[in-house]
Amino acid sequence: MSEDQYAQQDPGAQHGQPDTDDEQQAHPGATDAMGDRPDHGESSYRGSGRLTGRKAVVTGGDSGIGRAVALAFAREGADVVIAHLAEEQTDAEETAQLVKEAGRQAVLVGGDLTDEQQCQRLVDRAVDELGTIDVLVNNAAFQMAQPDGIEAVSTEQFDRVLKTNLYAMFWLCKKALPHLPPGSAIINTSSIQASKPSPELLDYAVTKAGIVNFTKGLAAMLAPRGIRVNAVAPGPVWTPLIPATMPQEKVAGFGEQTPLGRAGQPAELAPAYVFLASQESSYVTGEVLAVTGGMPM
């Protein structure tokens, strides 16, 4: 290979550090509002039929990691239900278009998953539209940094973090289970925060540690039914959630603390989800796959 080709494969240089200057927006954030748009694999991901005929539900599928996962699943041959907040409709429609361009069915389901009934509606809609569910990706999450300490974390915020990150995952797994045939996969999104919590993300980190425990326990519970349960633990990844939930001083230089010296891109997370959803990982369950830029879990 040429020197340029080798440089393109250098993990520290494959993607540049995002330009985070003046990146700030209101929650939940929008992709189009970002000055430095994340890479979801739009021009790089190439499928090879690893999920042909599969039916997937991806929560938080409108942007960031969820969009990259939906895109990769579609290019691997899966139809995708994209769950999103109502206020994220524009981003969700862009994700749906990427799925359709891959020749697969895209179903948008808007709503707040902190409501148990909305979780039931999501499962019902997925089954009505696709016939079954083979892959459930619990990726939706809420965080809000509080640099001023635990005193600044309100009960309302604590409830929202736990209900979005833990309750919704629990409800969706429980409600989807009757529709998951043997060979299905559940993939939960944990985080480096599960083992290395940042003080300003105390409540969020608690839920991400809970997801690891839940994943391991549910994997043991469902193994006799032929259903695998795993988690992906991202490190710092450049998504709309970052400028929408963190103060500017934390957004600046986001990800530079990793051994690779930069934030990850959503496109770099998607292959981990494809692996765990596909039969290539048929002997893998109860595991947490870290994609952290070299930060140890």
Which of the residue ranges 22-36, 42-56, 69-83, 157-171 would you say has the lowest mean pLDDT? 22-36
**pLDDT > 70? residue 16:** no
Of 19 and 231, which is predicted with more confidence? 231
Our CA dihedral for 87, 88, 93, 99, rounded to 10 degrees, sits at -150
19 — pLDDT class (breaks 50, 70, 90): low
Determine the Cα–Cα distance for residues 119 and 113; give it in Å rounded to an integer.
6
Q: The domain 52-291: what is its CATH number?
A: 3.40.50.720
Contact (Cβ atoms closer than 8 angstroms) between residue 232 and residue 276: yes
pLDDT 10s digits, 117-172: 999 999 999 999 999 999 999 999 998 999 999 999 999 999 999 999 999 999 99
Find, among 75, 1, 14, the residue nearest to 268 by Cα: 14
What percentage of the chain has pLDDT greater than the value 70? 86
pLDDT (0 to 100) of residue 9: 76
Query: Which residue numbers are catalytic?
Result: 204
Find, among 272, 265, 176, 273, the residue nearest to 227 by Cα: 176
- Sheet order of strands, 228-234 included: 106-110, 79-84, 55-59, 135-138, 185-189, 228-234, 288-291
pLDDT 10s digits, 186-227: 999 999 999 999 999 999 999 999 999 999 999 999 999 999
Contact (Cβ atoms closer than 8 angstroms) between residue 92 and residue 82: yes
Place of tokens 């619990």: 138
User: Which strand (E) or helix (H) includes residue 233?
Assistant: strand 228-234
Q: What pTM value is reported for the model?
A: 0.90
